[in-house]
Amino acid sequence: MEFRDVLYSRHSTRSFTDRIVTKSEIHTMLDAAIHAPNACNMQSWHYYIITDPAVKEKMAENGVCAPWVTEAPVIFVICTDAEALTSRFGEKGEVFALQDTAAAAENLLLCATDMGLGGCIIGSFDADRCRNLLSVPKKLDVVMLVPVGEPDEPVTPKTRKPIEVVVTYI
C-alpha cells in the first residue's frame, strides 16, 4: 500500500476473523515496532507475544483485559525496562520509556494495516494480573496490550477535531 493509504486506513480494530496470523507476519510487525524512534536508542522495550489459546483464555478468566481482546489471533504485550533511561534522565526517563512504547505500537499497527490486518492499543487492562499470568519479571513495566488480527468487518473511521482547534501557530 502507498504510505498515505496505510496512514489513513489504520483504525482501531476490535473484532477479528479466525484467520491465523503467521509467525512470519508477527516477525514483520515486531521488526516494524523495533524500528520506531526511541529515547537515545536505548530500546527500553520488551515484547511478549501471545498466540496460545489457553493463555488467552486465562487472560479473559483472570480479568486481565476485556474478553474481546483475547479473541485476537495474536496479542502483543509491550513492556519497558526504564532503568537505563531513569539512571540517565531521572524521572523523565520513565516518560521516555512510555513514549518509546507508543511509537513502537504505532509502527506495529501501521505495519499490520499494510498487511491487511488491524489492531488496537489497549491501555485499560490489569497490568498486575497480566504480569502474574505471564511471569513478567519485576524490572519490566507492562504498559500496553496490542491485539492484532484480520478485521471481521470494516471499521467506521473515528472523526477528529479540526486542525484549527488543536493547533497554535506561533
Which residues make up the interface to ligand FMN (CB under 6 A)?
Answer: 11-12, 14, 120-124, 158
Contact 101, 80 (CB under 8 A): yes
Element (H, E) at 145: strand 141-149
- Closest contact distance (angstroms) between CB of 24 and ligand FMN is 25
- Closest contact distance (angstroms) between CB of 170 and ligand FMN is 26
d(C-alpha 121, C-alpha 56), whole Å: 17
- Closest contact distance (angstroms) between CB of 23 and ligand FMN is 26
Pick the closer one to ligand FMN by CB: 165 or 170: 165
- Closest contact distance (angstroms) between CB of 14 and ligand FMN is 6
Pick the closer one to ligand FMN by CB: 138 or 153: 153
From residue 75, alpha-carbon distances to 45, 51, 72, 168 in Å are 16, 7, 7, 37
Element (H, E) at 129: helix 127-134
Pick the closer one to ligand FMN by CB: 138 or 161: 161
Pick the closer one to ligand FMN by CB: 27 or 143: 143
From residue 16, alpha-carbon distances to 111, 144, 151, 155 in Å are 17, 19, 5, 11
Pick the closer one to ligand FMN by CB: 36 or 121: 121
d(C-alpha 161, C-alpha 148), whole Å: 27
- Closest contact distance (angstroms) between CB of 108 and ligand FMN is 12
The beta-strand segments (E) located in 17-70 are: 45-50
